[in-house]
Structure 1
């Protein structure tokens, strides 16, 4: 009985610890994202679908759709770069997730944590906040064909 209790306690503590880590992601706002876009101090990862990304995104943002995150980090670095047109980030890379309103960006934080990333920030207001604050918008695809608006 003691052995079962120890194992159960270990599982509960591990799950509690993982949930605390998940909840500890920093939330950033417009000013922090604008700074990251300007000085490229963090990867701004737009997790919307490619057509949403192409219709307008934050300058310097890269596109990795939420449904593809799990499989993307199972690819070789070469396959990743060929498909997504940016270098596969290191596990300790500073990453800011964004989407249209923040929901998918929050789910992306969990998916990235599951893939071993830990230096993550959530742009909770995401693209809607960016445009409402007057942020510069780039239109174009992740292959580099862009127009500034």
Structure 2
């Protein structure tokens, strides 16, 4: 599991990928996590199977290498956990969920 502190430090870790798996309407309602890329959960497997240049064109960032640290976030942690498990089945060995996800992020940012 990824912690709030780890997620907060993602902008300083260029090799870490923060993937928000919420859909675009949720992002419009709440906002986005800094340095995150949005790949809705239903699109995740297809996205990680894209050729490198297509991934970068679609998501604005180089496709993560198989050993990249991948942190998944959603609204409350459920979809993030499913996304991390899916990424692991695709061979990404350093995939983990941010259990608190947007709910914890928003709460801690307000403090």
- TM-score, normalisation: structure 2: 0.88
Matches of 2:3 and 2:85 in 1, distance apart? 19
Decide whether the 8 Å contact of 2:15 with 2:68 is kept in 1. Answer: no
The list of structure 1 runs, each at least 4 consecutive aligned residues, that deviate by more than 4 angstroms after superposition, is none
Higher Cα radius of gyration: 1
The farther-off stretch of 60-69 and 50-59 is 50-59
> Which of 74, 77, 82 lines up with 2:57 in the alignment?
82
How many residues are aligned here?
Answer: 109
Decide whether the 8 Å contact of 1:40 with 1:60 is kept in 2. Answer: no
Q: Which structure 1 residue ranges, 5 or more long, are not aligned?
A: 1-26, 136-149
Q: Cα RMSD between the aligned structures? A: 1.6
Aligned to 1:32: 6
- TM-score, normalisation: structure 1: 0.67
Matches of 2:51 and 2:86 in 1, distance apart? 18
